[in-house]
Amino acid sequence: MVHPENSEEYKGLIVNKGIEQPSSVNPYLKRTKKRHLSVGDYVEGIIKGDVTTLSRAVTLVESVRTEHQVIAQEVIEKCLPYAGNSVRIGISGVPGAGKSTSIDVFGLHVLQQGGKLAVLAIDPSSERSKGSILGDKTRMEKLSVHPDSFIRPSPSAGSLGGVARKTRETIVLCEAAGFDKIFVETVGVGQSETAVHSMVDFFLLIQLAGTGDELQGIKRGIMEMADGIVINKADGNNIDKAKLAASQFRNALHLFPAPESGWTPQVLTYSGFYNTGVKEIWDMVYQYIDFVKANGYFDFRRNEQSKYWMYETINEHLRDSFYHNPMIEKMLGEREQQVLDRNLTSFVAAKKLLDAYFEALKK
């Protein structure tokens, strides 16, 4: 007897012979296993401006694994001839000052004139950077989907010096990939400004108008670093307060010695949220760049920064080599205890450790 499915009477029910299935429904799924790239592949991809390759190279730069570092350093070296052709802006401000909101509008503003923008960060506390990645995704909503932008959160692990060096190296890769505008964001709560200052052409400090004593909380050193101070949230009934704060900052700046650049730092008010006063800020930045390019300070500062990073890198490697030496790791605790027990002075203990380290190197 014919099965009803195959009987003439129920033609519509006839089961067709199956067709051969592809081995995977989505052919692209197979690609999830990343192809291994050689140094040459990385460099070629970066120079072509391929953002996926750039991202992977930055991941290598950030990696703590020695084999990744070896490749990363070679890639950086080969990218160096293509780097340097950008304007680098440091953007700092206390948490809540409006950095992310501002970078979104600043970024769109500078991209209106063409070119490509990379937004990097230096944030040595890994805990915070995890939080701010989420925050930045929503606060930089326009920039994060802009085809000419590349946003990379701070490298998370390690000392401030280590984190900053990785960001400095990432700048090289981004520039080689054709990014001609680089923003480096940092939270204005301490040493990280110095690190950012050591790798940018213009240092922009975002401030808020507050209770009238805003100048007290700001470290003198940070203000001295600023090439421009901008008071954010000058909107609604906050406009007058912002203007007042601006004049207080202007007065305070007069008390500082004139900057080496010959430029007088400007103080402006704006609203990142309502996008007012943003053009004036960028007119100021470009005016500064023209000014220091004309008087030679632009190149001078970049040279100083290159020297700084050479010595920083040496210091970091020496420190790492010392503290990761297995013998030193063993001896450190014991010597420390001897110092605490007053059996050794700090200096003698340090000298003994260093001598032991240099002796070990000879073997």
Ligand X SMILES: Nc1nc2c(ncn2[C@@H]2O[C@H](COP(=O)(O)OP(=O)(O)OP(=O)(O)O)[C@@H](O)[C@H]2O)c(=O)[nH]1
Say which entry of Mg ion, ligand X, none residue 271 contacts (CB below 5 to 8 A, set by partner kind).
ligand X
Give the residue with the Cβ less far from ligand X, 134 or 354.
134
Neighbours of 320 (CB within 10 A): 12
Strands 87-93 and 202-208: parallel
The SS3 assignment for 130 reads helix
Count of residues touching Mg ion (by CB under 5 A) = 2
Tell the smallest beta-carbon distance from residue 56 to Mg ion (Å).
Answer: 25
Say which entry of ligand X, Mg ion, none residue 95 contacts (CB below 5 to 8 A, set by partner kind).
ligand X
Q: Any idea how long the chain is?
A: 363
168 close to 199: Cβ distance less than 8 angstroms = yes
Give the residue with the Cβ less far from ligand X, 24 or 237.
237
Alpha-carbon distance 241 to 343, whole Å? 59
Residues 160-189 that bind Mg ion (CB under 5 A): none
* Neighbour-count burial of 201, counting CB atoms closer than 10 A to its CB (0-12 exposed, 13-18 middle, 19+ buried): buried
Which residues in this chain contact ligand X in the complex, by CB under 6 A? 93, 95-101, 132, 135, 139, 187, 232-233, 235, 271-273
What angle do the packed helices 51-62 and 39-47 form, to 10 degrees? 130
The SS3 assignment for 226 reads coil
138 close to 202: Cβ distance less than 8 angstroms = no
353 close to 335: Cβ distance less than 8 angstroms = yes
Say which entry of ligand X, Mg ion, none residue 192 contacts (CB below 5 to 8 A, set by partner kind).
none
Say which entry of Mg ion, ligand X, none residue 235 contacts (CB below 5 to 8 A, set by partner kind).
ligand X
Say which entry of Mg ion, ligand X, none residue 121 contacts (CB below 5 to 8 A, set by partner kind).
none
Task: Determine the interface stretch with Mg ion among 78-86, 91-99, 207-215, 279-287 (rule: CB under 5 A).
Answer: 91-99
Give the residue with the Cβ less far from Mg ion, 162 or 272.
272
Tell the smallest beta-carbon distance from residue 174 to ligand X (Å).
Answer: 21
Q: Where do contacts with Mg ion occur on this chain (CB under 5 A)?
A: 99-100
